[in-house]
C-alpha cells in the first residue's frame, strides 16, 4: 500500500523487534557476565521459538493487509480482460513479508526435532533482508527524486543489516553483531514512519517539494539523526538492563532474572532437546 498505513505497519513491526532485541541481548550478555556462568539459559531457546512464531504472525498480518485492503489485488495477479498485472506494488510488498515469514519458519524449525543446522535461521533472516533490499532497489526507479532518495537511504540500513546478519551465521551469539542488528532494525522501523510522514503527510501541512535539493540534503542528514537516536535508545536500554540485573543480584544473591528455572550445559547438541524428548538420549 503506497500510503501512510502501508509504511506505518512494517515500521511498527521492525520497531517492535528492534526494541525487543535491544533488551534481550544485553539481558543475556549481562546475566552471563555477572553470574560468571558460561551456561546458557534454556529460556533463550524458548524465546527464539516465540520470536519465530511472532515473525510468522506479523508476516501473515502484513500479507493479508496488502492483499485485502479495499484497493488491494485480492489475490488476483493478472487481469485477463485488461491484459495487465493487478496492483503489482501490493504484490511486491506481499513478497517482502513472505520472506520474513520464511525466516520465522526457519527460526521455529531450528529448535524442532528436525535438527536443522544452526545458522540456517540467521541465513534466512539475512536473505529476507537482502530480498527486501533488492526489491526496494528496483522499486524506486522512475519515481520523483525525493521519493527515490528517501527509500534509497533505507538501502544503507538494509544491506548493512543483511551483511551483519550473514556474519552471524559464522559468529553466532556475538553480542556486538546482535546489538548492531538491533540498532539497524530500530533505524528501519523509525525510518519507515519518517517516510510515511514525509510522503503522505498524515497530519496535513504543506507537501514537501520533491525536487528541492535542500529537502534531499535535510532528509539525508535526518536519516543519520535517526541512527544516532537508535544508538541512544540502545544505550539507555543497556544501562537500564544493567541496573535491573545489579538490583536483582543484590536482593537475591543469585541471578535468575525470572526467565528460567533450570540451568543446563550449553553443549551444541542440546538445542534440539527443547521441544521434544531428544532422540539422542
> Smallest Cα–Cα separation from 100: which of 77, 82, 78, 126?
126
Give the nearer residue to its own copies in terms of CB position, either 12 or 148: 148
Q: Compute the least distance from the CB of residue 92 to its own copies, in Å.
A: 5
Q: Compute the least distance from the CB of residue 261 to its own copies, in Å.
A: 25
The helix-helix angle for 213-252 and 145-170 (nearest 10°) equals 30
Give the nearer residue to its own copies in terms of CB position, either 50 or 232: 232
Q: Report the DSSP beta bridge partners of residue 85.
A: 78
Give the nearer residue to its own copies in terms of CB position, either 140 or 259: 140
Q: Which residues contact 169 (CB under 8 A, 6 or more apart)?
A: 119, 122, 123, 126
Among all chains, which residue has been given the C-alpha cell 544493567?
Answer: 242
- C-alpha cell read off for 145: 527524486
Q: Report the DSSP beta bridge partners of residue 78.
A: 85
Give the nearer residue to its own copies in terms of CB position, either 61 or 176: 176
- β pairing state of 84-85 and 78-79: antiparallel
Give the nearer residue to its own copies in terms of CB position, either 65 or 245: 245
Binding residues (CB under 8 A) for its own copies: these are 29-30, 33-34, 36, 83-85, 88-89, 91-92, 95, 98-99, 102, 109, 114-117, 119-120, 123-124, 127, 131, 134-135, 138-139, 142, 156, 169-171, 174-176, 179-180, 206, 213-218, 220-221, 224-225, 227-228, 231, 235, 238-239, 242, 246, 279-280
Q: Compute the least distance from the CB of residue 262 to its own copies, in Å.
A: 23
Give the nearer residue to its own copies in terms of CB position, either 3 or 174: 174
Give the nearer residue to its own copies in terms of CB position, either 13 or 99: 99
Amino acid at each position: 500500500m503506497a500510503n501512510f498505513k502501508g509504511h506505518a505497519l512494517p515500521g511498527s513491526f521492525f520497531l517492535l523487534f528492534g526494541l525487543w532485541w535491544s533488551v534481550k541481548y544485553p539481558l543475556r550478555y549481562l546475566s552471563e557476565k555477572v553470574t560468571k556462568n558460561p551456561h546458557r539459559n534454556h529460556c533463550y531457546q524458548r524465546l527464539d521459538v516465540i520470536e519465530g512464531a511472532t515473525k510468522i504472525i506479523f508476516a501473515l498480518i502484513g500479507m493479508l493487509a496488502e492483499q485485502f485492503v479495499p484497493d488491494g489485488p485480492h489475490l488476483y495477479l493478472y487481469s485477463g480482460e485488461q491484459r495487465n498485472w493487478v496492483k503489482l506494488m501490493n504484490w511486491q510488498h506481499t513478497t517482502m513479508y513472505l520472506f520474513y515469514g520464511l525466516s520465522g519458519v526457519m527460526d521455529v524449525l531450528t529448535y524442532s526435532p528436525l535438527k536443522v543446522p544452526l545458522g540456517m535461521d540467521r541465513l534466512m533472516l539475512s536473505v529476507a533482508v537482502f530480498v527486501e533490499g533488492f526489491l526496494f532497489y528496483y522499486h524506486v526507479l522512475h519515481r520523483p527524486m525525493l521519493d527515490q532518495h528517501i527509500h534509497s537511504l533505507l538501502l544503507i540500513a538494509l544491506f548493512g543489516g543483511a551483511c551483519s546478519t550473514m556474519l552471524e551465521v559464522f559468529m553466532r551469539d556475538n553480542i556486538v553483531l546482535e546489538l548492531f542488528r538491533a540498532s539497524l532494525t530500530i533505524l528501519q522501523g523509525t525510518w519507515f514512519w519518517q517516510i510515511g510522514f514525509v510522503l503522505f503527510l498524515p497530519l496535513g501541512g504543506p507537501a514537501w517539494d520533491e525536487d528541492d535539493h535542500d529537502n534531499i540534503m535535510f532528509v539525508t542528514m535526518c536519516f543519520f539523526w535517526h541512527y544516532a537516536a537508535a544508538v541512544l535508545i540502545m544505550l539507555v536500554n543497556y544501562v537500564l538492563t544493567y541496573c535491573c540485573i545489579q538490583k536483582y543480584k543484590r536482593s537475591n544473591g543469585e541471578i535468575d532474572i525470572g526467565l528460567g528455572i533450570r540451568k543446563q550445559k550449553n553443549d551444541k547438541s542440546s538445542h534440539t532437546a527443547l521441544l521434544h524428548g531428544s532422540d539422542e538420549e
